[in-house]
């Protein structure tokens, strides 16, 4: 069955450093991959979408890569700030309107 | 401002009682979704609808029911058949476009607890 893995342990980094979060998937070949941010007690907010034929996508301080050979996406936040602290969810999907989400990785950016 | 409104923010249910969670959107989106989120688990799809008066079961539909009488509204009823209803419930919406996989817009959720 389809499986999505994100680090369950929180990632703690210092302000100004680059945070890198990992999303691995097995037993399927998604054509798209979305990343969302979720703050405590709030709904997820869409950040970026990358297609299987795109190796990398950027938006301001965010960068996403999509390696279909490794079955992995990396999500980078450069020059991280305490305001970036949140849980980040990936959703690799084959298409259509249904999304399947990973469990998310909590990021904590410390001063 | 356009968005999705979920109400109430907190809801308590007694054993054997049905409760209905509200979800309204003014984004003019065709598709709407209900997810359940439990600690340590990803969002799991309960039901979704792509058009008025039509909806499909998601991965964990047992013990839940929905209706889609208006484009803007997609209420979820948690029935007494749902034996473990305590969770954070999220409603989302999206446009429908040919290639699919459109970003979803989420409400701020309803936290349901059993008394």
B100 pLDDT tier (thresholds 50, 70, 90): low
CB atoms within 10 A of CB A76: 16
Q: Name the closest residue on chain A to residue B46, using Cα atoms.
A: A98
Q: What is the pLDDT along chain A (111 residues), one digit of tens a residue?
A: 889 999 889 999 999 999 999 999 998 889 899 999 999 999 999 999 999 999 899 999 999 999 999 999 999 999 999 999 999 999 998 877 789 999 999 999 999
Distances (CA, A) of A97 to A19, A75, B101: 29, 22, 5
Chain A / chain B CB contacts < 8 angstroms: 63
User: d(Cα A87, Cα B43) in Å, to the nearest integer?
Assistant: 13
Residue in A52, A29, A48 with CA at minimum distance from that of residue A88: A48
User: d(Cα A107, Cα B16) in Å, to the nearest integer?
Assistant: 39
> How high is the pLDDT of residue A75?
98
Q: Which two tokens stand for residue A48?
A: 């970026």
Q: Is A100 on the interface with B (CB under 8 A)?
A: yes
Q: Name the closest residue on chain B to residue A48, using Cα atoms.
A: B103
Output the DSSP codes for chain B.
---EEEE-SEEEE-TT--EEEEEEE-S--SEEEEEEE-TTS--EEEEEEEETTEEEE-TT-TTEEE--SBTTB--EEE-TT-S---EEEEEEEE---TTB----EE---EEEEE-
Residue B104 burial by Cβ neighbours in a 10 Å radius (0-12, 13-18, 19+)? buried
User: d(Cα A92, Cα A27) in Å, to the nearest integer?
Assistant: 12
B64 pLDDT tier (thresholds 50, 70, 90): very high
Is B101 in contact with A101 (Cβ distance < 8 A)? Answer: no
Q: Are B52 and B82 in contact (CB under 8 A)?
A: no
User: d(Cα A44, Cα A59) in Å, to the nearest integer?
Assistant: 18
User: d(Cα B38, Cα B53) in Å, to the nearest integer?
Assistant: 29
> How high is the pLDDT of residue B41?
83
Convert the pLDDT of each residue in B31-53 to its tens digit. 999 999 998 888 999 999 999 99
CA angle B92, B73, A99 (to 5 degrees): 25
Residue with tokens 């409760």: B19
């Amino acid at each position: 069955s389809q499986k999505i893995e994100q680090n369950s342990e929180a990632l703690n980094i210092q302000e100004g450093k680059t945070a890198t979060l990992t999303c691995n998937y097995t037993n399927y070949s998604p054509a798209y991959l979305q990343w969302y941010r979720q703050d405590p007690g709030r709904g997820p907010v869409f950040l970026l979408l990358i297609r299987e034929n795109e190796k990398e996508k950027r938006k301001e301080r965010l960068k996403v890569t999509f390696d279909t050979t490794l079955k992995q996406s990396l999500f980078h936040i450069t020059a991280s700030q305490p305001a970036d602290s949140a849980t980040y969810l990936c959703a690799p999907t084959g298409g259509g309107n249904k999304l399947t989400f990973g469990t998310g990785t909590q990021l904590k950016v410390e001063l | 401002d356009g968005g999705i409104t979920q109400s109430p923010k907190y809801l308590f249910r007694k054993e054997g009682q049905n409760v209905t969670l509200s979800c309204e959107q003014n984004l003019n989106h065709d598709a709407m979704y209900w997810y359940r989120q439990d600690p340590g688990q990803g969002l799991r799809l309960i039901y979704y609808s792509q058009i008025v008066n039509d909806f499909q079961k998601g991965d964990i539909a047992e013990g839940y029911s929905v209706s889609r009488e208006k484009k803007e509204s997609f209420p979820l009823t948690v029935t007494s058949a749902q034996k473990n209803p305590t969770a954070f419930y999220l409603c989302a919406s999206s446009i429908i476009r040919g290639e699919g996989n459109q970003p979803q817009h989420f409400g701020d959720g309803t936290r349901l607890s059993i008394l």
